[in-house]
């Protein structure tokens, strides 16, 4: 009876020790190696009236505006206002294989955490056996039933708790990685979709240019046949037509490849019943967002959160490595009944129990534990460097996207003026050529200038819209649902 009471006391003491401290180093978040605010200056403030209060985040003097919400606080359905694009993003979230793998990785690490956590509690099992044997003409039998635990490590020095914390941080890091994958997927779908719309616009522009060049070539050839134009004009018109046809083939290929890229990232075919599409340069396609301050990225951007969880896991691993220097105590215990006959197995006097604690103390391991602790400390320093690098990368990406948001507004506004001016130049040159006032070369130059201006506007409009998607992504937007 005294032995049973002693066993119960030791078990209670062991359970109490499970809630004690560990040997993990005290964790402090490393200081962010970036400025406390994003850069400011002319490159970050648009001079275009159309962008007042949005591109630079400032209001027009004499007006009051409400600060736009932060990207991380805005669900992706609120940021992407185009219903067609919303449908495509949802298809990708449901079918993309990379996101599916990321989700499975989270489930795997969550299971690993539960396995590690289970090691803190004793594993209790029941067993029974019946043995009959014959030796030297004598038949004997024995049977027993027992309930007990096998090799339960009593976590006096927190080794298992450190490993549990490490597994938990690895699980949280993997979940943050899944969020990063989702953000990247959403941004990729949006960018691929914008690229498709832009190339379709360029294809239409080129088709119109080919028609115009074909008409110019036909007219010039007829005029030459009547003797009112030189063969040089015909050849120049033919060259312009051939160049436009080459561009036409190029944009047809680009549109087809854009569709293939979009199908690949969706993980499913593009449905036929999509809502009507907006123009890719529609000013209202995306909601306005605020940048906040760099310190917000530490808790809002999943890749930085992932890096910090990895750092915390490395910190916990140091505690486990330190605990390896101390004694390791394991407990094996069981209680039940044992009898030579099955009929008397549960009668009085057949009780049996076993209590076998073991203690192992590291005395000489040829420096193995010391080397393991050194490895754990080095791995933590590596994670610190990775964490700081993630912050610096995020700061650079946000700063670049902010200056692009402001300057693309001015650039696209200038492109629109260029197209308007080129259209007037083309109209005037065409009229003067038909009236015989200007040469064909002037008219051809006006035609090329208009085509170039239209291409440049489409290209810069795409860059502007794609940068707004990038800004939403790098500010940590898109990991929350609708």
Splitting the chain (482 residues) into consecutive groups of 10 residues, what average pLDDT does each group show? Answer: 42 47 90 92 76 46 68 93 96 93 90 86 69 67 59 80 92 94 96 97 96 90 77 88 95 97 95 91 92 88 95 94 85 64 58 69 84 94 96 96 95 96 95 86 92 96 96 88 50
pLDDT at 5: 41
pLDDT at 347: 61
CA dist 194 → 169, 261, 403, 413, 472 (Å): 37, 12, 20, 19, 15
pLDDT at 228: 66
Interacting residues of 99 by C-beta distance below 8 A, sequence separation 6+: 92, 93, 178, 181, 182, 185
Domain 23-120+160-326+372-474, CATH class in plain words: mainly alpha
Q: How far apart are CA 17 and CA 19, in angstroms?
A: 5
pLDDT at 65: 60
* Phi and psi angles of residue 413, each rounded to the nearest 5 degrees, phi first: -60, -40
C-alpha 294: how far from chain center: 19
- CB–CB of 86/77 below 8 Å? yes
pLDDT at 80: 96
pLDDT at 437: 86
* Phi and psi angles of residue 356, each rounded to the nearest 5 degrees, phi first: -135, 80
Would strands 328-339 and 351-360 be described as parallel, antiparallel, or unpaired? antiparallel
- pTM for the model stands at 0.84
Interacting residues of 50 by C-beta distance below 8 A, sequence separation 6+: 283, 409, 413
Most distant CA pair in the chain: distance in Å? Answer: 131
- CB–CB of 373/432 below 8 Å? no
pLDDT at 153: 76
Q: Where are the domains of the chain?
A: 23-120+160-326+372-474
Q: Which residue has the tokens 């049977």?
A: 143
Handedness of CA 99, 104, 106, 107 (dihedral sign): positive
- Using a 10 angstrom Cβ sphere, with 0-12 exposed, 13-18 middle and 19 or more buried, the burial of residue 33 is exposed
Joined together, the tokens standing for residue 104 give 């499975």
- CB–CB of 324/362 below 8 Å? yes
CA dist 441 → 230, 233, 246, 438 (Å): 12, 8, 21, 8
Would strands 328-339 and 124-135 be described as parallel, antiparallel, or unpaired? unpaired
- CB–CB of 418/456 below 8 Å? yes
Q: How far apart are CA 336 and CA 354, in angstroms?
A: 9
- Give the burial string for 137-169 (b: 16+ CB within 10 Å, else e): eeeeeebbbbebeeebbbbbbbbbbbbbbbbbb
Q: How far apart are CA 235 and CA 255, in angstroms?
A: 30
pLDDT at 33: 93
Q: Which residue has the tokens 């396995």?
A: 115
- Cross-strand pairs, 132: 141
Query: Could you give the residue ranges of the DSSP H alpha helices within 267-337?
Result: 294-300, 302-323
pLDDT at 142: 62
- CB–CB of 196/265 below 8 Å? no
């Amino acid at each position: 009876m005294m032995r049973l009471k002693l066993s119960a006391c030791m078990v209670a003491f062991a359970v109490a020790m499970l809630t004690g401290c560990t040997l993990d180093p005290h964790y402090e978040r490393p200081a962010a190696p970036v400025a406390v605010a994003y850069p400011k200056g002319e490159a970050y403030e648009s001079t275009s009236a159309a962008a007042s209060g949005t591109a630079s985040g400032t209001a027009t003097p004499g007006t009051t505006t409400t600060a736009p919400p932060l990207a991380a606080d805005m669900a992706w359905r609120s940021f992407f206002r185009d219903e067609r694009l919303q449908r495509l993003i949802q298809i990708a979230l449901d079918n993309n294989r990379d996101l599916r793998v990321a989700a499975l990785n989270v489930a795997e690490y969550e299971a690993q955490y539960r396995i590690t956590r289970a090691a803190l509690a004793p594993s209790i099992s029941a067993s029974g056996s019946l043995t009959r044997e014959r030796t030297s003409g004598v038949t004997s039998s024995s049977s027993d039933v027992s309930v007990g635990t096998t090799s339960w490590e009593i976590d006096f020095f927190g080794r298992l708790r450190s490993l549990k914390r490490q597994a938990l941080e690895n699980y949280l890091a993997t979940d943050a990685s899944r969020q990063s994958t989702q953000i990247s997927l959403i941004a990729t779908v949006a960018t691929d979709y914008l690229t498709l719309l832009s190339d379709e616009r360029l294809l239409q522009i080129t088709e119109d240019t080919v028609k115009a060049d074909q008409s110019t070539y036909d007219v010039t050839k007829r005029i030459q046949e009547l003797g009112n134009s030189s063969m040089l004009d015909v050849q120049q018109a033919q060259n312009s037509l051939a160049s436009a046809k080459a561009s036409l083939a190029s944009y047809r290929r680009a549109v087809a490849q854009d569709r293939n890229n979009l199908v690949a990232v969706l993980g499913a075919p593009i449905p036929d019943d999509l809502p009507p599409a907006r123009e890719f340069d529609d000013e209202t396609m995306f909601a306005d967002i605020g940048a906040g301050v760099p310190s917000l990225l530490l808790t809002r951007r999943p890749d930085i959160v992932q890096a910090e969880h990895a750092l915390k896991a490395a910190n916990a691993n140091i505690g486990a490595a330190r605990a390896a220097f101390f004694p390791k105590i394991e407990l094996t215990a069981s209680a039940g009944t044992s009898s030579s006959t099955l009929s008397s197995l549960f009668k009085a006097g057949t009780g049996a129990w076993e209590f076998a604690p073991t203690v192992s103390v590291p005395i000489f391991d040829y420096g193995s534990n010391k080397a393991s602790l050194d490895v754990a400390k080095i791995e933590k320093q590596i994670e610190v460097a990775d964490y700081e690098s993630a912050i610096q990368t995020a700061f650079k990406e946000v700063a670049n996207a902010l200056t692009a948001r402001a300057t693309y507004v001015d650039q696209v506004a200038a492109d629109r003026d260029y197209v308007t001016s080129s259209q007037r130049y083309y109209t005037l040159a065409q009229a003067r050529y038909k009236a015989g006032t200007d040469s064909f070369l002037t008219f051809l130059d006006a035609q090329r200038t208009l085509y170039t201006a239209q291409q440049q506007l489409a290209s810069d409009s795409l860059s502007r819209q794609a940068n707004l998607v990038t800004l939403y992504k790098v500010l940590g937007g898109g990991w929350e649902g609708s």
